[in-house]
Structure 1
Amino acid sequence: MDLLESLNWRYATKKFSNKKLAADKLQTIVDAINLSASSAGMQPYRLFVIENSELKKELGVGSFNAQITEASHLLVFAAYTAIRKEDIQKYIQLIARERNTTEESLVDFKNSLEKYFLSRTDEENFIWSARQAYIALGTGIIAAADQQVDATPMEGFDSERFDTLLGLKEKGLKSVVLLALGYRDEEKDPFARMKKVRLPKEEFVTEIV
Protein backbone atom coordinates (compact mmCIF):
# COMPACT_ATOMS: atom_id res chain seq x y z
CA MET A 1 0.00 0.00 0.00
CA ASP A 2 1.06 3.60 -0.53
CA LEU A 3 0.77 6.12 2.31
CA LEU A 4 -2.76 7.32 1.55
CA GLU A 5 -4.02 3.75 1.11
CA SER A 6 -2.48 2.85 4.47
CA LEU A 7 -4.09 5.82 6.19
CA ASN A 8 -7.46 4.96 4.65
CA TRP A 9 -7.00 1.37 5.86
CA ARG A 10 -6.25 2.35 9.46
CA TYR A 11 -8.86 3.10 12.10
CA ALA A 12 -8.95 3.27 15.89
CA THR A 13 -9.18 -0.46 16.53
CA LYS A 14 -11.72 -1.43 19.18
CA LYS A 15 -11.03 -5.17 19.45
CA PHE A 16 -7.61 -6.75 19.05
CA SER A 17 -6.89 -10.37 18.16
CA ASN A 18 -4.31 -12.41 20.09
CA LYS A 19 -1.80 -12.17 17.24
CA LYS A 20 1.52 -10.82 18.48
CA LEU A 21 3.37 -7.98 16.83
CA ALA A 22 6.63 -8.99 15.17
CA ALA A 23 9.76 -7.51 16.72
CA ASP A 24 10.93 -5.87 13.48
CA LYS A 25 7.62 -4.07 12.96
CA LEU A 26 7.58 -2.88 16.55
CA GLN A 27 11.13 -1.59 16.21
CA THR A 28 10.27 0.29 13.02
CA ILE A 29 7.37 2.04 14.77
CA VAL A 30 9.52 2.89 17.79
CA ASP A 31 12.32 4.17 15.57
CA ALA A 32 9.85 6.37 13.67
CA ILE A 33 8.59 7.83 16.95
CA ASN A 34 12.15 8.58 17.99
CA LEU A 35 12.64 10.44 14.69
CA SER A 36 9.46 12.48 15.13
CA ALA A 37 9.47 16.25 14.87
CA SER A 38 10.22 17.94 18.19
CA SER A 39 10.56 21.63 19.07
CA ALA A 40 14.24 22.52 19.38
CA GLY A 41 14.87 18.79 18.98
CA MET A 42 14.59 18.34 22.76
CA GLN A 43 12.15 15.40 22.92
CA PRO A 44 10.77 16.35 26.38
CA TYR A 45 9.02 13.01 26.83
CA ARG A 46 9.89 9.35 27.07
CA LEU A 47 8.34 6.24 25.52
CA PHE A 48 7.55 3.07 27.46
CA VAL A 49 6.89 -0.11 25.44
CA ILE A 50 4.90 -2.68 27.39
CA GLU A 51 4.35 -6.27 26.32
CA ASN A 52 3.98 -7.92 29.75
CA SER A 53 0.40 -9.22 29.98
CA GLU A 54 0.11 -8.99 33.77
CA LEU A 55 1.32 -5.41 33.82
CA LYS A 56 -1.11 -4.47 31.05
CA LYS A 57 -3.94 -5.98 33.11
CA GLU A 58 -2.91 -3.94 36.14
CA LEU A 59 -2.67 -0.79 34.07
CA GLY A 60 -6.09 -1.39 32.55
CA VAL A 61 -7.99 -1.79 35.84
CA GLY A 62 -10.99 0.56 35.88
CA SER A 63 -10.50 1.80 32.30
CA PHE A 64 -13.20 1.57 29.64
CA ASN A 65 -10.43 1.02 27.09
CA ALA A 66 -10.11 -2.76 26.83
CA GLN A 67 -7.38 -2.22 24.25
CA ILE A 68 -4.94 -1.53 27.10
CA THR A 69 -4.99 -5.20 28.04
CA GLU A 70 -5.92 -6.79 24.70
CA ALA A 71 -3.30 -5.20 22.45
CA SER A 72 -0.06 -6.98 21.62
CA HIS A 73 1.95 -4.00 22.86
CA LEU A 74 1.07 -0.82 24.71
CA LEU A 75 3.06 2.37 24.17
CA VAL A 76 2.97 4.95 26.95
CA PHE A 77 4.02 8.51 26.15
CA ALA A 78 5.20 10.25 29.33
CA ALA A 79 6.02 13.97 29.34
CA TYR A 80 8.54 15.85 31.49
CA THR A 81 6.83 17.47 34.47
CA ALA A 82 9.51 20.19 34.45
CA ILE A 83 12.43 21.39 32.33
CA ARG A 84 15.57 21.68 34.43
CA LYS A 85 18.91 23.31 33.73
CA GLU A 86 20.54 19.87 33.80
CA ASP A 87 18.10 18.63 31.12
CA ILE A 88 19.27 21.38 28.81
CA GLN A 89 22.91 20.66 29.64
CA LYS A 90 22.49 16.95 28.80
CA TYR A 91 20.87 17.89 25.51
CA ILE A 92 23.74 20.21 24.61
CA GLN A 93 26.21 17.44 25.43
CA LEU A 94 24.29 15.05 23.17
CA ILE A 95 24.35 17.48 20.26
CA ALA A 96 28.07 18.10 20.69
CA ARG A 97 28.78 14.36 20.74
CA GLU A 98 26.56 13.44 17.80
CA ARG A 99 27.69 16.32 15.60
CA ASN A 100 31.34 16.03 16.59
CA THR A 101 31.55 19.59 17.79
CA THR A 102 32.26 21.39 21.07
CA GLU A 103 29.86 22.48 23.78
CA GLU A 104 31.43 25.92 23.58
CA SER A 105 30.22 26.30 20.00
CA LEU A 106 26.66 25.71 21.22
CA VAL A 107 26.70 28.26 24.03
CA ASP A 108 24.34 30.71 22.30
CA PHE A 109 21.83 27.94 21.63
CA LYS A 110 22.14 26.72 25.22
CA ASN A 111 21.60 30.22 26.58
CA SER A 112 18.50 30.72 24.44
CA LEU A 113 17.02 27.45 25.69
CA GLU A 114 17.74 28.34 29.32
CA LYS A 115 16.31 31.84 28.91
CA TYR A 116 13.11 30.47 27.42
CA PHE A 117 12.41 27.38 29.51
CA LEU A 118 13.80 28.40 32.88
CA SER A 119 11.74 31.60 32.88
CA ARG A 120 8.50 29.62 32.64
CA THR A 121 6.57 27.71 35.28
CA ASP A 122 6.76 23.91 35.56
CA GLU A 123 3.10 23.76 34.53
CA GLU A 124 3.77 25.75 31.35
CA ASN A 125 6.70 23.52 30.46
CA PHE A 126 4.69 20.37 31.20
CA ILE A 127 1.91 21.50 28.86
CA TRP A 128 4.53 22.14 26.16
CA SER A 129 6.11 18.73 26.79
CA ALA A 130 2.74 16.98 26.56
CA ARG A 131 2.04 18.67 23.22
CA GLN A 132 5.39 17.47 21.96
CA ALA A 133 4.45 13.93 23.00
CA TYR A 134 1.25 14.21 20.95
CA ILE A 135 3.28 15.08 17.85
CA ALA A 136 5.23 11.86 18.42
CA LEU A 137 1.96 9.98 18.90
CA GLY A 138 0.86 11.12 15.44
CA THR A 139 4.11 9.86 13.97
CA GLY A 140 3.54 6.51 15.69
CA ILE A 141 0.04 6.19 14.27
CA ILE A 142 1.27 6.86 10.73
CA ALA A 143 4.23 4.50 11.15
CA ALA A 144 1.92 1.73 12.38
CA ALA A 145 -0.37 2.19 9.37
CA ASP A 146 2.65 2.04 7.07
CA GLN A 147 3.59 -1.31 8.67
CA GLN A 148 -0.02 -2.58 8.41
CA VAL A 149 -0.21 -2.69 12.20
CA ASP A 150 -3.43 -1.65 13.91
CA ALA A 151 -3.21 1.12 16.46
CA THR A 152 -5.50 2.86 18.92
CA PRO A 153 -4.61 6.20 20.53
CA MET A 154 -6.15 6.59 23.98
CA GLU A 155 -6.61 9.26 26.62
CA GLY A 156 -9.20 7.48 28.78
CA PHE A 157 -6.89 5.97 31.36
CA ASP A 158 -5.93 6.48 35.01
CA SER A 159 -2.71 8.47 34.67
CA GLU A 160 -2.06 8.32 38.39
CA ARG A 161 -2.22 4.53 38.26
CA PHE A 162 0.12 4.44 35.28
CA ASP A 163 2.54 6.86 36.91
CA THR A 164 2.66 4.74 40.07
CA LEU A 165 2.98 1.33 38.43
CA LEU A 166 5.64 2.53 35.99
CA GLY A 167 7.54 4.61 38.55
CA LEU A 168 7.18 7.74 36.44
CA LYS A 169 7.04 10.31 39.23
CA GLU A 170 10.53 9.33 40.35
CA LYS A 171 11.73 9.93 36.80
CA GLY A 172 10.16 13.39 36.57
CA LEU A 173 7.56 12.14 34.09
CA LYS A 174 3.77 11.98 33.78
CA SER A 175 1.84 9.73 31.40
CA VAL A 176 -0.19 11.77 28.91
CA VAL A 177 -1.38 9.47 26.10
CA LEU A 178 -1.29 5.82 25.03
CA LEU A 179 -1.01 3.92 21.77
CA ALA A 180 -2.15 0.29 21.64
CA LEU A 181 -0.57 -1.81 18.87
CA GLY A 182 -1.60 -5.16 17.44
CA TYR A 183 -3.98 -6.66 14.91
CA ARG A 184 -7.72 -6.16 14.55
CA ASP A 185 -10.20 -8.90 15.36
CA GLU A 186 -12.46 -8.53 12.34
CA GLU A 187 -15.08 -10.90 13.77
CA LYS A 188 -15.51 -9.04 17.07
CA ASP A 189 -14.82 -5.45 16.00
CA PRO A 190 -17.86 -4.01 14.18
CA PHE A 191 -15.78 -1.03 13.01
CA ALA A 192 -13.25 -3.19 11.16
CA ARG A 193 -15.19 -3.25 7.89
CA MET A 194 -16.84 0.15 8.09
CA LYS A 195 -15.96 2.80 5.51
CA LYS A 196 -13.81 5.61 6.86
CA VAL A 197 -15.75 8.85 7.14
CA ARG A 198 -13.94 12.17 6.67
CA LEU A 199 -15.01 15.62 5.54
CA PRO A 200 -14.84 16.27 1.80
CA LYS A 201 -11.66 18.15 0.98
CA GLU A 202 -13.53 21.16 -0.35
CA GLU A 203 -15.09 21.60 3.11
CA PHE A 204 -11.99 20.66 5.10
CA VAL A 205 -9.34 22.58 3.17
CA THR A 206 -9.13 26.31 2.51
CA GLU A 207 -6.51 27.13 -0.08
CA ILE A 208 -4.99 30.60 -0.01
CA VAL A 209 -3.01 31.29 -3.17
Structure 2
Amino acid sequence: MTNIIDALHWRYATKTYDLTKKLDSTQVDMLIESVRLSPASFGLSTYKLIHVKNTETREKLKAAAWGQTQISDASDFLVFAAKTNLGEADINEFINDVSETRNVPVESLTGYADMIKGSVGSRSSEENIVWAAKQAYIGLGILLTAAALEKIDATPMEGFDSAQFDEILGLSALNLKSIVVVAIGYRSENDTYSSLAKVRQSKQNLMIEK
Protein backbone atom coordinates (compact mmCIF):
# COMPACT_ATOMS: atom_id res chain seq x y z
CA MET A 1 0.00 0.00 0.00
CA THR A 2 1.26 3.47 -0.86
CA ASN A 3 2.38 5.53 2.10
CA ILE A 4 -0.19 8.28 2.59
CA ILE A 5 2.42 11.05 2.95
CA ASP A 6 4.15 9.92 -0.24
CA ALA A 7 0.76 9.92 -1.96
CA LEU A 8 0.03 13.47 -0.81
CA HIS A 9 3.42 14.61 -2.07
CA TRP A 10 2.63 12.95 -5.41
CA ARG A 11 -0.77 14.55 -5.92
CA TYR A 12 -1.33 18.03 -7.29
CA ALA A 13 -4.20 19.92 -8.86
CA THR A 14 -3.86 18.55 -12.37
CA LYS A 15 -4.10 21.18 -15.06
CA THR A 16 -3.99 19.03 -18.21
CA TYR A 17 -5.52 15.57 -18.51
CA ASP A 18 -4.67 12.73 -20.88
CA LEU A 19 -7.72 12.38 -23.13
CA THR A 20 -6.76 8.81 -24.05
CA LYS A 21 -6.73 7.44 -20.50
CA LYS A 22 -10.00 6.66 -18.74
CA LEU A 23 -10.83 5.40 -15.29
CA ASP A 24 -12.69 2.11 -15.19
CA SER A 25 -15.98 1.72 -13.35
CA THR A 26 -14.29 0.00 -10.40
CA GLN A 27 -12.01 2.98 -9.85
CA VAL A 28 -14.85 5.48 -10.08
CA ASP A 29 -17.01 3.40 -7.75
CA MET A 30 -14.15 3.26 -5.24
CA LEU A 31 -13.88 7.05 -5.19
CA ILE A 32 -17.63 7.46 -4.83
CA GLU A 33 -17.58 4.92 -1.99
CA SER A 34 -14.84 6.91 -0.27
CA VAL A 35 -17.18 9.91 -0.26
CA ARG A 36 -20.07 7.81 1.02
CA LEU A 37 -17.94 6.60 3.93
CA SER A 38 -16.61 10.06 4.76
CA PRO A 39 -17.03 11.50 8.26
CA ALA A 40 -20.31 13.38 8.64
CA SER A 41 -21.81 15.38 11.47
CA PHE A 42 -24.32 13.11 13.26
CA GLY A 43 -23.72 10.65 10.38
CA LEU A 44 -26.39 12.60 8.49
CA SER A 45 -26.27 12.94 4.70
CA THR A 46 -26.37 16.65 3.88
CA TYR A 47 -25.24 16.66 0.25
CA LYS A 48 -25.41 14.75 -3.01
CA LEU A 49 -22.67 13.75 -5.44
CA ILE A 50 -23.53 14.26 -9.12
CA HIS A 51 -21.56 12.22 -11.66
CA VAL A 52 -21.76 14.21 -14.90
CA LYS A 53 -21.29 11.76 -17.77
CA ASN A 54 -22.90 13.60 -20.68
CA THR A 55 -20.27 15.18 -22.93
CA GLU A 56 -22.46 18.08 -24.04
CA THR A 57 -23.39 18.87 -20.45
CA ARG A 58 -19.74 18.91 -19.46
CA GLU A 59 -19.00 21.37 -22.27
CA LYS A 60 -21.76 23.65 -20.97
CA LEU A 61 -20.35 23.40 -17.47
CA LYS A 62 -16.89 24.24 -18.79
CA ALA A 63 -18.29 27.43 -20.29
CA ALA A 64 -19.76 28.27 -16.87
CA ALA A 65 -16.33 27.73 -15.32
CA TRP A 66 -14.39 30.14 -17.49
CA GLY A 67 -13.20 27.47 -19.89
CA GLN A 68 -11.33 25.25 -17.45
CA THR A 69 -10.45 22.28 -19.66
CA GLN A 70 -10.30 19.79 -16.80
CA ILE A 71 -14.10 19.72 -16.79
CA SER A 72 -14.31 18.36 -20.32
CA ASP A 73 -10.98 16.56 -20.64
CA ALA A 74 -10.71 14.52 -17.44
CA SER A 75 -12.01 10.97 -17.46
CA ASP A 76 -14.83 11.82 -15.05
CA PHE A 77 -16.38 14.88 -13.44
CA LEU A 78 -18.17 15.11 -10.10
CA VAL A 79 -20.21 17.88 -8.50
CA PHE A 80 -20.80 18.13 -4.74
CA ALA A 81 -24.20 19.72 -4.14
CA ALA A 82 -25.61 20.72 -0.74
CA LYS A 83 -29.21 20.00 0.18
CA THR A 84 -31.14 23.27 0.38
CA ASN A 85 -34.19 21.91 2.21
CA LEU A 86 -32.55 19.85 4.91
CA GLY A 87 -35.17 18.99 7.49
CA GLU A 88 -37.13 16.40 9.42
CA ALA A 89 -37.73 14.15 6.41
CA ASP A 90 -33.96 13.69 5.94
CA ILE A 91 -33.47 13.06 9.63
CA ASN A 92 -36.32 10.53 9.82
CA GLU A 93 -34.90 8.69 6.82
CA PHE A 94 -31.48 8.61 8.47
CA ILE A 95 -32.91 7.34 11.76
CA ASN A 96 -34.75 4.56 9.90
CA ASP A 97 -31.46 3.61 8.21
CA VAL A 98 -29.74 3.47 11.60
CA SER A 99 -32.54 1.29 12.95
CA GLU A 100 -32.31 -1.16 10.05
CA THR A 101 -28.52 -1.24 9.81
CA ARG A 102 -27.92 -1.70 13.52
CA ASN A 103 -31.05 -3.75 14.15
CA VAL A 104 -32.37 -1.52 16.91
CA PRO A 105 -35.93 -0.24 17.42
CA VAL A 106 -36.68 3.19 15.97
CA GLU A 107 -38.21 4.10 19.31
CA SER A 108 -34.83 3.68 21.02
CA LEU A 109 -33.42 6.38 18.75
CA THR A 110 -35.98 9.04 19.61
CA GLY A 111 -33.59 11.02 21.79
CA TYR A 112 -30.91 10.98 19.10
CA ALA A 113 -33.42 12.02 16.45
CA ASP A 114 -34.71 14.87 18.60
CA MET A 115 -31.15 16.09 19.19
CA ILE A 116 -30.43 16.22 15.44
CA LYS A 117 -33.77 17.88 14.70
CA GLY A 118 -33.09 20.45 17.39
CA SER A 119 -29.68 21.24 15.94
CA VAL A 120 -30.88 21.50 12.33
CA GLY A 121 -34.03 23.37 13.34
CA SER A 122 -32.08 25.96 15.31
CA ARG A 123 -30.44 27.22 12.12
CA SER A 124 -31.85 29.11 9.16
CA SER A 125 -32.01 27.47 5.73
CA GLU A 126 -28.99 29.53 4.64
CA GLU A 127 -27.03 28.45 7.71
CA ASN A 128 -27.86 24.80 7.06
CA ILE A 129 -26.60 25.15 3.47
CA VAL A 130 -23.30 26.48 4.83
CA TRP A 131 -23.19 23.56 7.27
CA ALA A 132 -23.93 21.09 4.46
CA ALA A 133 -21.19 22.67 2.36
CA LYS A 134 -18.69 22.10 5.16
CA GLN A 135 -19.67 18.43 5.19
CA ALA A 136 -19.21 18.28 1.42
CA TYR A 137 -15.66 19.58 1.75
CA ILE A 138 -14.88 16.77 4.18
CA GLY A 139 -16.09 14.32 1.54
CA LEU A 140 -13.96 16.05 -1.08
CA GLY A 141 -10.88 15.77 1.12
CA ILE A 142 -11.44 12.05 1.59
CA LEU A 143 -11.90 11.60 -2.18
CA LEU A 144 -8.67 13.48 -2.95
CA THR A 145 -6.76 11.33 -0.49
CA ALA A 146 -8.26 8.08 -1.80
CA ALA A 147 -7.43 9.15 -5.36
CA ALA A 148 -3.83 9.95 -4.45
CA LEU A 149 -3.38 6.58 -2.77
CA GLU A 150 -4.51 4.89 -5.99
CA LYS A 151 -2.40 7.18 -8.23
CA ILE A 152 -5.52 8.76 -9.71
CA ASP A 153 -5.22 12.43 -10.53
CA ALA A 154 -7.81 14.92 -9.33
CA THR A 155 -8.53 18.62 -9.61
CA PRO A 156 -10.81 20.23 -7.01
CA MET A 157 -12.35 23.48 -8.26
CA GLU A 158 -14.32 26.36 -6.79
CA GLY A 159 -13.88 28.62 -9.81
CA PHE A 160 -17.28 28.25 -11.43
CA ASP A 161 -20.60 30.06 -11.59
CA SER A 162 -22.71 28.12 -9.10
CA ALA A 163 -26.00 29.59 -10.36
CA GLN A 164 -25.21 28.54 -13.93
CA PHE A 165 -24.16 25.07 -12.80
CA ASP A 166 -27.42 24.73 -10.88
CA GLU A 167 -29.39 25.73 -13.96
CA ILE A 168 -27.51 23.44 -16.36
CA LEU A 169 -27.84 20.45 -14.04
CA GLY A 170 -31.40 21.24 -12.91
CA LEU A 171 -30.33 21.25 -9.28
CA SER A 172 -32.85 23.76 -7.95
CA ALA A 173 -35.70 21.39 -8.82
CA LEU A 174 -33.88 18.75 -6.75
CA ASN A 175 -33.45 21.14 -3.81
CA LEU A 176 -29.68 21.16 -4.32
CA LYS A 177 -26.99 23.81 -4.71
CA SER A 178 -23.57 23.20 -6.30
CA ILE A 179 -20.75 23.77 -3.83
CA VAL A 180 -17.47 22.41 -5.17
CA VAL A 181 -16.48 20.19 -8.10
CA VAL A 182 -13.69 17.76 -8.90
CA ALA A 183 -12.28 16.36 -12.13
CA ILE A 184 -10.65 12.92 -11.93
CA GLY A 185 -8.52 10.96 -14.37
CA TYR A 186 -4.88 10.78 -15.46
CA ARG A 187 -2.43 13.63 -15.96
CA SER A 188 -1.06 14.41 -19.38
CA GLU A 189 2.66 13.88 -19.90
CA ASN A 190 2.68 17.47 -21.15
CA ASP A 191 1.36 18.93 -17.90
CA THR A 192 4.37 20.91 -16.72
CA TYR A 193 2.77 21.45 -13.31
CA SER A 194 3.29 17.76 -12.47
CA SER A 195 7.05 18.24 -12.12
CA LEU A 196 6.93 21.34 -9.94
CA ALA A 197 7.95 21.02 -6.30
CA LYS A 198 5.05 21.24 -3.87
CA VAL A 199 5.05 24.51 -1.95
CA ARG A 200 3.39 24.51 1.47
CA GLN A 201 4.04 26.35 4.70
CA SER A 202 6.46 24.70 7.09
CA LYS A 203 5.25 22.57 9.97
CA GLN A 204 6.55 25.27 12.33
CA ASN A 205 4.41 27.91 10.63
CA LEU A 206 1.39 25.61 10.49
CA MET A 207 1.43 24.55 14.12
CA ILE A 208 0.58 26.50 17.24
CA GLU A 209 1.11 24.61 20.47
CA LYS A 210 -0.56 25.64 23.70
Pairwise TM-score range, normalised by the shorter structure: over 0.9
The Cα shift of 1:63 comes to 1.9
Please say if residues 82 and 123 of structure 1, whose CA atoms lie closer than 8 Å, have aligned partners that are also in contact.
no
Structure 2, unpaired ranges of 5+: none
Question: Match for residue 16 of structure 1?
Answer: 17
Work out the CA distance in 1 between the residues paired with 2:52 and 2:23. 12
C-alpha RMSD of the superposition = 1.3
Tell me what 1:123 maps to.
126
One-letter code of the match for 2:84?
A: T
Correspondence for 1:153: 156
Output one character per residue of 1:126-165: Cα deviation in whole Å (capped at 9) or x when no partner: 1100111011111111011011000000011121222122
Please state if 1:204 is matched with 2:206.
yes
- Is 162-171 or 5-14 further displaced after alignment? 162-171
CA contact (8 A) 2:12 2:154 kept: yes
- Match in the other structure for 1:53: 55
TM superposition score normalised by structure 2: 0.94
For residues 51 and 192 of structure 1, what CA distance do their matches in structure 2 show? Answer: 26
The alpha-carbon deviation at position 43 of structure 1 amounts to 1.9
User: Does the CA-based 8 Å contact 2:64-2:164 persist in structure 1?
Assistant: no
Which segments of 5 or more consecutive residues in structure 1 lack a partner in the other structure?
A: none
Shift of 1:55: 1.6
TM-score, normalising length: structure 1 = 0.94
The structure carrying a bigger helix percent of its residues is 2
Q: 71-80 or 199-208, which moves further after superposition?
A: 199-208
What is the rounded CA distance, in whole Å, between the counterparts of 1:207 and 1:175 in structure 2?
36
Is the Cα contact below 8 Å between 1:154 and 1:178 reproduced in 2? yes
Once residues 202 and 61 of structure 2 are traced to their aligned partners in structure 1, the CA distance between those partners, rounded to angstroms, is 38
Question: Once the 2 structures are TM-superposed, how far is the Cα of residue 51 of structure 1 from its aligned partner?
Answer: 2.6
Specify the SS of the correspondent of 1:198.
coil
Give the count of matched residue pairs.
207
Aligned partner of 1:163 in structure 2 is 166
Q: Secondary structure at the match of 1:191?
A: helix
- The answer on whether the counterparts of 1:48 and 1:75 sit within 8 Å (CA) in structure 2 is yes
- How many Å separate the matches in 1 of 2:114 and 2:203? 44
Does residue 141 in structure 1 map to residue 144 in structure 2? yes
Matches of 2:149 and 2:207 in 1, distance apart?
A: 24
In structure 2, C-alpha distance between the alignment counterparts of 1:25 and 1:87, rounded to whole Å: 29
Residues 1-209 of structure 1: matches in 2 within 5 Å?
Answer: 1-18=2-19, 19-64=21-66, 65-187=68-190, 189-208=191-210
Range with bigger deviation, 160-169 or 146-155: 160-169
**Paired-residue identity, %:** 40
Q: Distance in 1 between matches of 2:136 and 2:57?
A: 22
1:69-120 CA distances to partner (integer Å, 9 max, x unpaired)? 1111011000011322111111111111111111100000111111121132
Give SS of 1:192's match: helix
Quote the offset at 1:48 in angstroms.
0.9
Amino acid at match of 1:198: R
Instruction: Out of 8-17 and 190-199, give the one that drifted further.
Output: 190-199
